[in-house]
Structure 1
């Protein structure tokens, strides 16, 4: 059953509407299961963390936190070189996002903005098969550049010990501690704080449905800030016949490799090109069978090739879709990109597969999904900064503007105190 090739236009809602549903992971079942865990951590602190770690991970801990400086690691030199190169690129990109305080005189008064970092951050790192050390770089580096002072890594314990690559990264990034607690209980520890685990004001990082449910619930309670709500990973590719069909197929499959609920959507104007990409997908399934069932489910059930009448239609649909990742491989990439309004991160040209941004180029791979890029941005330095406005009003300006304050406060029924607080400062008042 090959991937469907669907011809449509802007009015073909019955064809493309399912891709615009903004599918998010259904966390209702997970939420009902994690609520008792969150309450136990809130009320019982460390004892709940010890209990749930033994129950879910089969490990009886003697302590909940580790000091990275006290752990010996033996990461091979080639792995170090790769991650150091990624670290350098990510730092360079995010350094350009730094904010400086500013002020200007408006109507005689000095108004301005200064930026202050959030005080503390927890970064969640899954364990076992779902090991994403690159996400540790992506979460921590912009926070460090923003000036976050207290950062801890939350990760489930492993019978063989915490993976050396994670420990080494916490060392080179100078993280305060490693909290060896996973799942919803690890998120709760960061949100509430316990005897051993300091409370964090913000948490980022991927995790399973229980982690996602805990982050979403605790954020909704105002207990911790989170990155944008997460859904299945996705890529949209705008391409024409100048593109390499095999490369396009590879890019679609690299997204399918994330999980069976991932989606990859190709937008093009040429049926013959669409057929070539479809054929390359089938060839790839035969030649690269690793995780075959998962990739096929993602491609056959959640993905599609949509053929629109014009490139303008492709751009329109991409903006409606607001994808997490957007690749543009066309005759004129820049002109297409100029018309893009909503996307988590954009990859221009044939040599910019999403995997480059996932690991090494320097942009952040923690991105909004499920059409979230219509209102959210990629994780960056701004994520960890608070904008504090200030003003210094002059005596002359206060007297000049008081009549307007008087009128407006009377209109809102707040003249007795709001209006008076300005009036008493005007000439002739005591």
Structure 2
């Protein structure tokens, strides 16, 4: 059962329309189940956290927070080296995103912007098989650079104890505390605050459907800020006949192993390349059978190779798709990239697989999915900054501009107080 190869043009919507639906996880069932949990945490605090941890994780805790500085870790030096290299690259990339407050004179008045960090952040790190310590780096480093003063890590407890890698990362990143509570109850603790868990103003990080539902619901209630709404992982690849079919197949499978609902879309003008990629996928399934059923379902049901008549159509479709990850493997990468308007993160050239950005190159891997990059950006320093505008109006400018304020406030029916508040400051009315 090979991957679908579809010959398309812009008018063949019946061929490609299902890929533009922007797949998001249906959280309605999960939301219904987590609402009582959220309410219990809101009203009962730590007691609810301890109770749900025993119920869902089978672990009886005496407390829900720990100070990472009090623990000793024994991390393999080679693993340390890898994470420290990643940390340095991520810091270098995000330091370039720092914002400086500014002001300028406009019509005689000093106007400007002052950037201030959000006051607090919680980073959620899943446990068990879904342990992604790299996401801890991605969530915390830009927040630190933005100047967020209070950061806590939320993660479910493990029967064998917290993963040492998370404790070590908490130490080198100087996180205030680790909250050993997972699931919706962990998100609720961050949003509401409890006796031992301070309230956070913002939360980032991946999680299961219950975590996603809790983040979405609590954000909708205005209780906590979140990163962009998340759906299944996805990659789109624009490639021509010069591309390496085996490498493309590997890159498609690197997304497929995230989950059976992941998608990988190849856009090309070369039918020969399309067929070779399909063959390479089948070879890979034989040679690398780990998570085979998951990868096959993602490739056969959610992925495709779309063969368009020209490269401009490939670019058009990519912008419509607005993928989480976009790889460009052609003879004219920069020209194509110049025409890309919507993508979470772009990977240029044959030696730029998504996995480089996932771990080590320095860009952030917390990205909008489900066509979210049409309106959202990747996580970065800006995510954790607020923009405060200010103005200092001079007496001379107030005198000059009052007649305009008078006319505009009268038009809007607000001259009695709006207009008067300026008038009383003008010459002869002080």
Instruction: Give the TM interval when normalised to the shorter protein.
Output: over 0.9
Q: Match for residue 404 of structure 1?
A: 404
Instruction: Note the residue ranges of structure 1 that are not aligned, 5 or more in a row.
Output: none
Deviation at 1:400, TM superposition (A): 0.5
Distance 1:180 1:254 in 2: 30
Partner-residue secondary structure (3-state), 2:351: coil
Partner-residue secondary structure (3-state), 2:162: coil
**Structure 2 residue 243 is matched with structure 1 residue 270:** no
Q: Match for residue 206 of structure 1?
A: 206
Partner-residue secondary structure (3-state), 1:369: coil
Q: Match for residue 169 of structure 2?
A: 169
Q: Match for residue 9 of structure 2?
A: 9
Deviation at 1:72, TM superposition (A): 1.1
Q: Match for residue 280 of structure 2?
A: 280
Describe the superposition over 1:205-245 as per-residue Cα deviations: whole angstroms up to 9, x where unpaired. 00000000000000000000000000000000000010000
Distance 1:301 1:423 in 2: 68
Q: Match for residue 137 of structure 2?
A: 137
Describe the superposition over 1:223-276 as per-residue Cα deviations: whole angstroms up to 9, x where unpaired. 000000000000000000100000000000000010000000000001111000
Deviation at 1:137, TM superposition (A): 0.1
Q: Match for residue 153 of structure 1?
A: 153
Partner-residue secondary structure (3-state), 1:74: coil
Q: Match for residue 336 of structure 2?
A: 336
Partner-residue secondary structure (3-state), 1:129: helix
Distance 1:191 1:208 in 2: 17
Distance 1:413 1:14 in 2: 53
Q: Match for residue 358 of structure 2?
A: 358
Alignment of 1:28-427 (within 5 A): 28-427=28-427
Distance 1:169 1:76 in 2: 13
Distance 1:413 1:187 in 2: 46
Distance 2:71 2:407 in 1: 66
Distance 2:233 2:253 in 1: 12
Partner-residue secondary structure (3-state), 2:410: helix
Distance 1:327 1:234 in 2: 11
Say what the alpha-carbon RMSD is for the aligned residues.
Answer: 0.4
Distance 1:231 1:412 in 2: 44
Partner-residue secondary structure (3-state), 1:157: coil
> Under a length normalisation based on structure 1, what TM-score does the superposition of the two structures give?
1.00
Give runs of ≥4 in structure 1 deviating > 4 Å: none
Instruction: Note the residue ranges of structure 2 that are not aligned, 5 or more in a row.
Output: none
Distance 1:270 1:92 in 2: 38
Deviation at 1:202, TM superposition (A): 0.2
Deviation at 1:310, TM superposition (A): 0.3
Partner-residue secondary structure (3-state), 1:313: helix
Partner-residue secondary structure (3-state), 1:115: strand
Deviation at 1:24, TM superposition (A): 0.3
